[in-house]
Amino acid sequence: MSLIVQKFGGSSVKDTDRIMNVARIVMETSQKGNDVVVVVSAQGDTTDDLIAKAAEITDNPSRREMDALMSTGEQISASLLSIAIKSLGGKAISLTGWQAGFVTDSNHRNSRIRRIDKERLENELDKKNIVIVTGFQGINRYDDITTLGRGGSDTSAVAIAAALKAEKCQIYTDVDGVYTADPRIVKAARKLPEISYDEMLELATLGAQVLHNRSVEMAKRYNIRMEVLSSLENKPGTIVKEVAKMEKMLIKGVAKDDKISRITLVGVPDTPGIAFKIFSLLASVKINVDIILQATGSNGAKDIIFTLKEGDESIAMQILSDIKESAGFTEAVLDTNISKVSIVGAGIQSNAGVASKMFEALADANINIHMISSSEIKISVFIDKDLSTKAVSAVHSAFEDDLKS
């Protein structure tokens, strides 16, 4: 008998009708003779609402308590879905992250899965239950509840698929697959029948919210076939796997990330060890910096510019203000009006024309580029935040022909 893992996101379980719809999809999969493990997200905007409730009390809530709070959203969905499946005559049981054996590290709000103790999952499957697991959560070695970072239910699903050696991991969402750009922004975006792990990982990391980037990383490591499909329309979605069908497509997609900020350190002394001092301190409080640029200034000083995730600014600025004197720079300037727009495709590196075509599209749309970074399979530009939607459309339409298979 084969095992299928099915994950349903927040919009797919947002109300009673949608829960019943999911119950029917899951029952159908089970009635075809498959073992089924279901992973659910919190209903609709529940996670945002819970975060907002804590924000009404303080700007700086305890990370441990935030995990205890946020994990409740998924518990509501899991128990409701189990009730729904039973009401249709199915056999089901809901499990929280810890009941399902998810053990993570202690990095609250962004924990990584260390292992899954799978006995309970296997026992429940042996009893012919449809097993419904809360996404996005686990416990650490102190038995405290942890969460895996926003969008982390995708990663919970792939982790179960890897642990139980599932045939595939289906990610049901509110769009019917992975598109060449967010279909809510770019009407001309095209659905991709297939995409490689590497390209999907870049797209997800660069802001295409449709999959949590760590879920793709894990699917690649354990060679799990992922499918992205709609919970509302019964049609083929997008398959994420090792090598996508060879086609002439040079570019796979365009993505944007509005949730970033930029910090400029002005007048950093041009002596060895300063960059090390600054970035090791930021790393010690788990602040990930994205791109780092260094520009030569005058009088033996230089400027260092770097980008970081939205939400990390206040702690980063605090650290920088603490070390300003000992590190010897003049000031740290925060800019939150910045976005990153990227194109992704395995063929980018070997094609010299791609970068200039992207820059031309932005120039024609009168969008100023502040910084550029590129790698083997992506080119990213940093621009003003209020222009990011326009930029995605402009770049997508410049590559219209390349984005057709």
State how far the Cα of 153 lies from the Cα of 268, in Å rounded to an integer.
41
Q: Is position 152 an interface residue for ligand ADP (rule: CB under 6 A)?
A: no
- Nearer of residues 154 and 402 to Mg ion, judged by Cβ: 154
What the block records as the tokens of 158 is 């792939």
Q: Is position 237 an interface residue for ligand ADP (rule: CB under 6 A)?
A: no
Pairing of strands 92-95, 289-296: unpaired
State how far the Cα of 182 lies from the Cα of 388, in Å rounded to an integer.
12
SS3 193: coil
Of 16-55, binders to ligand ASP (CB under 6 A) are 41-42, 47
Question: Candidates 4-12, 161-169, 185-193, 252-260 — which segment interacts with Mg ion by CB under 5 A?
Answer: 4-12
Q: Is position 184 an interface residue for ligand ADP (rule: CB under 6 A)?
A: yes
Q: Is position 136 an interface residue for ligand ADP (rule: CB under 6 A)?
A: no
Query: Taking the alpha carbons of 219, 374, 148, 24 in that order, is the dihedral positive or negative?
Result: negative
Q: Is position 174 an interface residue for ligand ADP (rule: CB under 6 A)?
A: yes
Question: Candidates 4-12, 19-27, 293-301, 390-398 — which segment interacts with ligand ADP by CB under 6 A?
Answer: 4-12
# residues near ligand ASP by CB under 6 A: 12
Of 313-372, binders to ligand ADP (CB under 6 A) are none
The closest of 27, 39, 34, 40 to 3, measured between CA atoms, is: 34
- Which of 97, 101, 135, 151 touches Mg ion (CB under 5 A)? 151
State how far the Cα of 344 lies from the Cα of 361, in Å rounded to an integer.
16
- Nearer of residues 11 and 110 to ligand ADP, judged by Cβ: 11
Of 292-321, binders to ligand ASP (CB under 6 A) are none
Residue 315 C-beta-side C-alpha neighbours within 13 Å: 16
Residue 107 DSSP symbol: -
State how far the Cα of 58 lies from the Cα of 9, in Å rounded to an integer.
28
- Interaction site with ligand ADP (CB under 6 A): 9-12, 41, 151, 173-175, 178-179, 181-184, 208-210, 253
Q: Which residues bind ligand ASP (CB under 6 A)?
A: 9-10, 41-42, 47, 73, 135-136, 150-153
